[in-house]
Amino acid sequence: MISALLFPGQGSQEVGMGKELYEQLPQAKEILDEACETAGYDLKDLMFNGPIEKLTDTQFAQPAIYTCSAMYLEKAKLNGIEYSYVAGHSLGEYSALYAAGVFSFSDGLRLVCKRGKAMSAENGKGIMAAILGLEESELLKYLDGIPDVVPANLNTKTQIVISGTESAVDKVAERLADREEIRVKRLNVSAAFHSPQMKNAAEVMTKEIENVKLHEPTAYVVSNVTGKPTKNLDEIRANLLAQITGQVRWYDSIIAMKNAGVEAFYEVGNGQVLRKMNKAITLQPKCLSI
């Protein structure tokens, strides 16, 4: 059976994440202990005890989510789950690359810590909002002529997150105000992720990503920015460089894996964000939680 592992991104964090695994699974304990040493602070205490305000801060949320997903990956391996494809939503792409053996856990965590800090530096410069009920082609008409706003996360066919300045996002909401069947929901995020406003963060990460040692993947990696599977290291590196300012084409990613013959999806990490999203994309194959 062809299987795929899916890894969640920011928004899946919560106080207590990974605690049960840490207490019950020696391999998961080793991962978190290594993470605390690599990160240089008590990540375990933050994950287990919060406070949620600090855990939600981008610079801490990203290392916590990446680490927690690595802990769940150990559980997946013990359960005998074999996989031919990996994909991660936004930050989750780093977890997917680790699962495919593209870089070591500690190398990935160092990248994630720097990514979180670089993106956190852009706090307060933009917002994001989910548009529910419109397909991409129709949404683009409502964005036409409004600068500083882009479709950032194409989560399902009719759930698209836009990202940009507050005034630009508000203008889009105003244009949609007479469409009662369309919902516009502002997200509780601190910046305009996956938009040109992340340019400075992308510049910070370029040197880091270019210098990290990558290994041939053991599974196909489905990139956020292309929504297509690849095992080519040059493509993987280029896609990772483009990801901070580029789109998360999650719908395309899931459909690409389904068309490639994937018969089972497994969400590897805290929560069930991707499981719920996948249900809106395709009923078969189902997405199961590890």
| Known active-site residue 89 | no
Q: Which one from 3, 12, 190, 194 is the annotated catalytic residue?
A: 194
The reported pLDDT for the residue numbered 189 is 85
- Rounded to the nearest angstrom, the gap between the alpha carbon of residue 107 and the centroid of all alpha carbons in its chain is 18
- pLDDT averaged over every residue in the chain: 96
Output DSSP code: residue 197.
G
Give the Å distances, CA to CA, from 147 to 128, 152, 168, 193: 14, 14, 7, 16
pLDDT > 70 fraction of the chain, expressed in percent and rounded: 100
Tell me if 280 sits within 8 A of 22, measured CB to CB. Answer: no
What predicted TM-score, i.e. pTM, was given to this entire model?
Answer: 0.96
Stretch 271-280: mean pLDDT: 94
130-154 residue pLDDT tens = 999 999 999 999 999 999 999 999 9
The reported pLDDT for the residue numbered 124 is 86
The count of C-alpha atoms lying within 13 angstroms of the C-alpha of 273, restricted to the half-sphere facing its C-beta, is 20
- In this structure, which amino acid lies at residue 278? N
Q: Which CATH number fits domain 3-122+195-289: 3.40.50.2000, 3.40.366.10, 3.40.640.10, 3.30.565.10?
A: 3.40.366.10
89-118 residue pLDDT tens = 999 999 999 999 999 999 999 999 999 999
Boundaries of every domain in the chain: 3-122+195-289, 127-186
Q: Which one from 90, 163, 195, 223 is the annotated catalytic residue?
A: 90
The reported pLDDT for the residue numbered 65 is 98
Q: What is the CA radius of gyration of the chain?
A: 18
Is residue 28 pLDDT above 90, yes or no?
Answer: yes
Torsions phi, psi of 165, nearest 5? Answer: -70, 155
Q: Which CATH class is domain 127-186?
A: alpha beta
